[in-house]
Structure 1
């Protein structure tokens, strides 16, 4: 598990991403809650989710082609700076009482477009930092950082929503990007440039990636699981109505459930990081366990059942996703020969 942390560059990146991911989760909690408060209609949460994640669905292959042809460190400096700017813009708008539904949706769309490139670049950049021999360790520790942020971010957001207002959640997120930007300036990965010389345009590269995914039975089987697991993280859509309408709790309850997910996700990520080489059978078993935990939470009669249900969802889903990610990255023999 500690293979990846032996490298200075990965440690810098790891702690920087822990900070920025916490800020991003805090902003997501605040934005979803504000939309529900502004509209009293959960349909608008669907619209906001489409704005935030639709670009990834539609433009993901082209983003992968761009990342493959670019210097990941420089690309991340641009994307993370833009994300910081959007967060600080939201904070200023909130300070001057300018928050409107269309503003939140427009900035969600801008964030979604940037995230399409940023999230892809971050995943590849991890491999640039640690090399092929520590991929499983790096993926697991990456999930540790994300799930620690799911405890820190929503907990801070819940406290700020209850005491200071959503504008401070945006300030927190904007300032949180300082750590990863500092890390990116300091990092000099040995393999941070394009993985291969560009021989075609982005469209050709996107088609190449889709063709490879279709020809590989393993990747073809993992893609539907990936799509289903993406629904787990649309918590800005599902949790506010559950908390407000079914469980009768407020913004603090929303933050509590988000934090419960992160609490469960931490051991799930550690189990994935410390596990032996993943197998398709283990991925299938973890997918079924995740389904059972989600059903338990969805049918919860009160907050006291929902909280342990969300802990179970965090444990099983993160273990499942990290294991599936490692299996996908090890699909090509040269990539996993050292692991």
Structure 2
């Protein structure tokens, strides 16, 4: 489960990301709560989320082209430093009492611009640190890393917001980037796996799109992730509204929802690291379960039942995330990985500018219960349809039977099922 951590360079990267990701989660909680406090509008929270992910939607593919051309470690040093400065600027404005909602919007957009390059660079740098044999394990541990920080960040942010104010959470995030920057500087360049960088040339963006277009397994994985992220992952809107409007609780309950979800997400990431392989059926079943549980949670009558449901929602959401990410990376030629992963991240993260304002509008107009139920229904429905499409593309049929006294439902090749039919 933890095999990748034997690699010194990856261990430095992993430890730096634990600290930085904790700060990032603190800023996310503080940012959403600050916007809600300044405006009283769930739509404004959705706009903030949209602005943070809009650059990925607009420029994500060009970020992938740059990542395939540039050395990953120096690139990450620049992007991590830029995000640190953004957090420190927002901390200064908030602590001095001059912060306005447009400042938060601008900071969210600036972080999004850095993420256009930072995200595909971090994703593809993993293969340079650990090599292809440990890639699946390292991707899963990265997700576990992110979710471990998510356990700590919201809890600390809730204490800071209620105790000393949101500005200190922004300051902590800005300072947290010291850890990953130090880790990158301490890495041994000679121990990195050499990956051929793409030379500068015309048509590289088109080449990446054509590569994906010829791979149905990549296309449908990315499409499914797009539906789930756009309509099912709008938790900044949903959870803040449930805490404030439905259960009439404070920032502590909002951080509680995020923390409980992180427990489930951490479990999902560790299970993915243990599995070692990325299977399409795991992706589809995970997405169906994720959407269905969101619909159930939308009906939760009490705060504690709603919080409890966040755990399996986090687990299945992380199952979708890790399985899709791993299958796309493992199925892509290393020379194309930056462009393919930028397309993947553009869909995964860029869906928020479309989904978050819609979720915010439904929440303001019809209530957050309707918004969460609609998002879950779309995610589950898309998973069912895409699962059937993939089964048809792969010439598979649904098989229902018994195995060692237990019911078994799975997809099998059509020819194999037809051969078994007379015996059955």
Structure 1 length-normalised TM: 0.94
**Cα deviations across residues 264-305 of structure 1 (Å, max 9, x unaligned)?**
111111100010422211211111111122222222222111
The separation in 2 between residues aligned to 1:93 and 1:332, in whole angstroms, is: 43
Shift of 1:18: 0.9
Residue in structure 1 matched with residue 197 of structure 2 by the alignment: 196
Shift of 1:72: 0.7
**Is the 1:71–1:192 Cα contact (8 Å) retained in structure 2?**
no
Is 1:171 matched up with 2:171?
A: yes
Shift of 1:246: 1.5
**Is the 1:293–1:316 Cα contact (8 Å) retained in structure 2?**
no
**Is the 2:140–2:322 Cα contact (8 Å) retained in structure 1?**
yes
Q: Structure 1 85/332 Cα, relative in aligned 2: closer, same or farther at 3 Å?
A: closer
Shift of 1:176: 0.9
Q: Structure 1 63/297 Cα, relative in aligned 2: closer, same or farther at 3 Å?
A: same
Most deviating of 2-11 and 222-231: 222-231
Residue in structure 2 matched with residue 79 of structure 1 by the alignment: 79
**Is the 2:287–2:317 Cα contact (8 Å) retained in structure 1?**
yes
Most deviating of 326-335 and 92-101: 326-335
The separation in 1 between residues aligned to 2:200 and 2:114, in whole angstroms, is: 25
User: SS of the residue aligned with 2:306?
Assistant: helix
- Runs of at least 5 residues in structure 2 that lack an aligned partner in the other structure: 336-424
Structure 2 length-normalised TM: 0.75
The separation in 2 between residues aligned to 1:229 and 1:127, in whole angstroms, is: 26
**Is the 1:93–1:99 Cα contact (8 Å) retained in structure 2?**
yes
Is 1:26 matched up with 2:30?
A: no
The separation in 1 between residues aligned to 2:18 and 2:178, in whole angstroms, is: 12
> Rg: which structure is higher?
2
Residue in structure 1 matched with residue 37 of structure 2 by the alignment: 37
The separation in 2 between residues aligned to 1:197 and 1:85, in whole angstroms, is: 30
Residue in structure 1 matched with residue 93 of structure 2 by the alignment: 93
Shift of 1:205: 2.0
CA RMSD after TM alignment: 1.7
Shift of 1:47: 1.5
- Runs of at least 5 residues in structure 1 that lack an aligned partner in the other structure: none
**Is the 1:25–1:149 Cα contact (8 Å) retained in structure 2?**
yes
Q: Structure 1 233/26 Cα, relative in aligned 2: closer, same or farther at 3 Å?
A: farther
Matching of residues 1-339 of structure 1 within 5 Å: 1-189=1-189, 190-191=191-192, 195-201=196-202, 204-231=203-230, 232-332=232-332
**Is the 1:68–1:194 Cα contact (8 Å) retained in structure 2?**
no
**Is the 1:136–1:326 Cα contact (8 Å) retained in structure 2?**
yes
